[in-house]
Amino acid sequence: MKKELYLWIRNLAVFYIFFTAVLNLVPDKKYEKYVRFFMGLLLIFMMSTPIFSILGKGQELTVSFLENFSRENKEKELQEFQNLQKIYLEKGYEMELEQKIRESLEKRGIEVYKVKVNIEGEDAQADILLKKKISQEEKRGIADELVEEWGINENRIHIQTAKDESGKVGDSLTSWDTSGRGSDASL
């Protein structure tokens, strides 16, 4: 009994040294509360192990804790993997959609400087920057095609013409309002 008590006190001392070291290694203070919470749970576990070992449940508690911890880690890793997979799929779809829109416009004889598609949840936004000014009828045709072909909401389609440094419409491509809120951009 005396040996077990000595071992328990030694484990608590090592735990506090380890706890202090971990807190000093935390890169950002905003994570400190999470580290303290986790370490507090471990401290509760360490404080209660002698009680459970007296009752004969010490080994069961340790095994149960490790199984639950392992299961939760696997679930967290799976969730992170699924989120990462979703992001990659969305980015791939954005790039493919940009390419398809560019090809479609070039088939119509419209010179395209840049196409940017952004997908957020179920909504997609298309920002199109053209090299030369086109008529409102052509803009309407492009918007109708994007709505019909790709399911992009008409309010989230922005078509702009590249402007030179003097502000005149031309071939110079010095600036583009990526928010899609240019003077002649929205439909």
DSSP string spanning 78-89?
HHHHHHHHHHHH
Instruction: Over range 159-185, report the average pLDDT.
Output: 48
> Which of 136, 125, 98, 100 shows the shortest CA–CA distance to 114?
98
Q: Which residues contact 178 (CB under 8 A, 6 or more apart)?
A: 116, 127
Q: Which residues contact 21 (CB under 8 A, 6 or more apart)?
A: none
Structural contact between residues 159 and 182, judged by C-beta atoms closer than 8 angstroms: no
More confident position, 116 or 2: 116
pTM, 2 dp? 0.48
pLDDT of res. 55: 67
Structural contact between residues 161 and 132, judged by C-beta atoms closer than 8 angstroms: yes
Pull the structure tokens for residue 87: 């992001």
The predicted-structure confidence for 87-123, as pLDDT tens digits, reads as follows: 888 888 888 888 888 888 888 888 888 899 888 877 8
pLDDT of res. 139: 87
Confidence band (pLDDT; 50, 70, 90) for 58?
low
* Lowest mean per-residue pLDDT among 21-30, 51-60, 90-99, 171-180: 171-180
The predicted-structure confidence for 128-155, as pLDDT tens digits, reads as follows: 988 888 888 888 888 888 888 878 888 8
Instruction: Over range 31-51, report the average pLDDT.
Output: 82
Query: Does residue 167 carry a pLDDT above 60?
Result: no
Cα separations (Å) of 24 from 18, 28, 31, 34? Answer: 10, 10, 11, 14
Query: Does residue 127 carry a pLDDT above 80?
Result: yes
Instruction: Over range 57-72, report the average pLDDT.
Output: 79
- Radius of gyration, alpha carbons of the chain: 30
Number of other residues whose CB lies within 10 A of the CB of residue 96 = 11
Query: Does residue 79 carry a pLDDT above 50?
Result: yes
pLDDT of res. 187: 45
pLDDT of res. 178: 42
pLDDT of res. 179: 44
SS3 content of the chain, % helix, strand, coil (to 5): 65, 15, 20
* 3-class SS of residue 33: helix
Is the C-alpha dihedral spanning 45, 48, 50, 54 positive or negative? negative
pLDDT of res. 148: 84
pLDDT of res. 171: 37
